[in-house]
Amino acid sequence: NFKKNYTPTEDICIDESMVPFRGRIIFRQYNKQKRHKYGIKEFKLCTIPGYTYKVSIYAGKNDETNNTPT
């Protein structure tokens, strides 16, 4: 419903963050420089007032080219 009622201005930014998670999941990320070393990486489309307009979870490399028949 938020996307239907709110139209962002042309000033938007892409934010990358990591949600701490140490459980078993195939797309868990590791970054030794972060305080939370294990987690789920997400990309956010944020507006200037601070609203998150869209969230995308990084689920590993997209390797669709190898799955198509030749």
pTM of the entire predicted model = 0.64
As a whole-number percent, the residues of the chain with pLDDT over 70 amount to 86
**pLDDT tens figures, 34-63:** 787 888 889 988 888 878 888 888 887 765
Tokens of 53: 């307009």
* CA 41 – CA 20 distance, rounded (Å): 9
**Which DSSP state fits 22?**
-
Which is more confident, 25 or 42?
Answer: 42
Query: Which pLDDT band holds residue 22 (cuts at 50, 70, 90)?
Result: confident
- Could you give phi then psi for residue 15, rounded to 5 degrees? -115, 135
Phi/psi-derived region of residue 60, left when phi > 0, alpha when psi is between -120 and 50, beta in every other case? left
